[in-house]
Structure 1
Amino acid sequence: MNIPENKQRLLTQIADDLQSVEGVAAVVLGGSYAAGMASDQSDLDIGIYYHADKPFKVDDIKAVVEKYAVSPATVTDFYEWGPWVNGGAWMITEHGKVDFLYRNIHQVQQTIDKAQQGEWENHFEQQPPYGFSSVIYLAEVNICQPLYDPAGVLAAWKKAVSVYPRALRETIIRQSLWSADFTIWQAAGFAEKHDVYNTVGCMARAVKNIMAALFAINERYPLGDKRVMEQLQDAAKVPAGLREKVDAILCVSGDTLPQNVTRLTALHQEVVLLSDGLYKPLYQL
């Protein structure tokens, strides 16, 4: 990690304060700094883990935030924002933006266990643009830097996710490529009717599913939709010119809808060829 000295001091101070809060079971650095993709403008993303049966008090988190915030900050209660991004805080400090993310240890453990069995889900309404994939929990564990972990919870999880689950890979590839296949079929019909609203919606949805399949094909956990191309840039099994092809698919006008769907169909076929024979359509469309 290449964290500026002022941000490193701030991170250490905040982590020390958080670990003294009753109910805080672990504290980690996550986000772009942990993933090695940070820029000068990157936030500090701090994960705060707790046990559901003995959580910390949100007022105690507010007290930590108020110590460092230089302008009014946001601190949420548990699960106010949805079932996956289950709470946190957003503040501006004298050294830049800092985000807190709450994480329920039981929920993360359950998600990791299900992933080993090939179970995952995507909650579309959780956040823009494409929702929250449960696999992000595994990505967070994989890249995070523990700052406080007295019970070794993160250490055990890191070992569990260090090898991409075979069953998860197969499930995501099959489900995502089928969803894309079915969605492209729908997009073609909408394009014939010059229905911009539905065609564009289908194309964005299909591209999202194609990207999910590419992560699984390359046995990588996605950290979310931000910088998705950077996350895949050195992957071994990616269509040549992926970014340019996606841009060409999603840059549309009312007159180009059929051509855009044709490009999308071609990209899907390329990814199917990269899927090690795992993809077979459920039905003939």
Structure 2
Amino acid sequence: MALSDADLTELAGRLVTVPGVLGVVLGGSRARRTHTPESDTDLGLYYRAPLDTARLGELAEELGGAGSRVTAPGEWGPWVDGGGWLRIAGDPVDWLYRDLDRVHHCWSEAEHGRYEFHAQAGHPLGVPDFSYPGELALGRILADPTGELAALQRRVRVFPRPLADALVAGLWEADFLVGIARKAVTRGDSSYIAGCLFRLAGVCAHALHGAAGQWLINEKGAVASAGALPGAPKSFQGRVDAAFAAINNDPLHLTLAIDIAADLVLETTDACAMMLR
């Protein structure tokens, strides 16, 4: 049986007794209530250094059994900051560190229309720094003794217009990717072209979400989510799929894939302009 909401609240209450842990937020599909019995439960552990990972590790073993462990901050990479992959009462539960001062900084940058995609294992497009406030906006707070998370959540739930404008302006890169992908057709460089089109689709998806004033915090499902937005280009997801389906070592097929993508960039630009009016 899956961990209940009461179980998660009790767990969060134990986590905030660990020195450095300031609050716990339920994220992912469980927070959106779209989870299935196979879904992991994602818990964001919002902290300020120093984080007592020794005590956190002891708690992980108490809850998950012998062999359960947690990382030091930064052990998984610069943006997926660390945590633990546990099984609690038979359910997969991920503890994910979030440096609260960094969340505040990323929110300030987003408010001013500044963002970057950052290299991180497991994220082929890169982690957008605005995903930190976006996670909090979309999450469900389970424990927040000081009230700091709730105060910040109220702010980040309003998508900042400067970030929307910046993401739409970022469509210049999608247009640029069309051009450089075309130069690879004569070489039959299908993997390079596929990489260009993957990033192009991601840039378009983020622009559409920005124009719609909605947080997009992960590549997973990004194209489907963008295609479902009111005002998105017609058959957005199907056309992205068609572009990738055309990629092989045939120059005619590669050109077709790029042509499909080029049309999507133009239509995405028009759609975003209409959504921002």
Q: Which residue of structure 1 aligns with residue 55 of structure 2?
A: 60
Are 2:19 and 1:42 equivalent residues in the alignment? no
Q: Which residue of structure 1 aligns with residue 9 of structure 2?
A: 12
2:89 maps to amino acid: E
* TM-score, structure 1 normalization: 0.89
Distance 2:66 2:197 in 1: 40
Q: How many residues get paired?
A: 273
Residue from 176, 185, 206 that aligns with 1:212: 206
Distance 1:237 1:73 in 2: 46
**Which secondary structure does the structure 2 equivalent of 1:125 belong to?**
coil
**For structure 1, which segment, 236-245 or 192-201, has the greater mean C-alpha deviation from structure 2 after superposition?**
192-201
Gaps of 5+ in 2: none
Distance 1:13 1:226 in 2: 30
1:93 maps to amino acid: I
Change in 2 beyond 3 A, CA 1:31/1:202: same
**Which secondary structure does the structure 2 equivalent of 1:276 belong to?**
helix
C-alpha contact 1:7 1:95 (8 A) present in aligned 2: no
* TM-score, structure 2 normalization: 0.91
Identity over the aligned pairs, expressed in percent?
Answer: 30
1:112 maps to amino acid: W
2:9 maps to amino acid: T
Are 2:132 and 1:137 equivalent residues in the alignment? yes
Q: Which residue of structure 2 aligns with residue 264 of structure 1?
A: 261
**Which secondary structure does the structure 2 equivalent of 1:68 belong to?**
helix
Return the offset for 1:134.
Answer: 0.9
C-alpha contact 1:170 1:278 (8 A) present in aligned 2: no
1:51 maps to amino acid: R
Return the offset for 1:264.
Answer: 0.6
Are 2:156 and 1:161 equivalent residues in the alignment? yes
Distance 1:254 1:9 in 2: 54
Residue from 214, 223, 226 that aligns with 2:217: 223
Gaps of 5+ in 1: 280-285
Return the offset for 1:193.
Answer: 2.6
Return the offset for 1:212.
Answer: 1.4
Distance 2:62 2:232 in 1: 46
**C-alpha offsets along residues 119-178 of structure 1, whole Å, 9 cap, x if unaligned?**
111103343222211121122111111111122111211221122111111111112x11
Distance 2:187 2:2 in 1: 57
RMSD (CA atoms): 2.1
1:24 maps to amino acid: V
**C-alpha offsets along residues 157-214 of structure 1, whole Å, 9 cap, x if unaligned?**
1221122111111111112x11111111000111133222322221112111111111
Distance 1:71 1:243 in 2: 44
Distance 1:233 1:204 in 2: 15
Residue from 73, 77, 90 that aligns with 1:95: 90
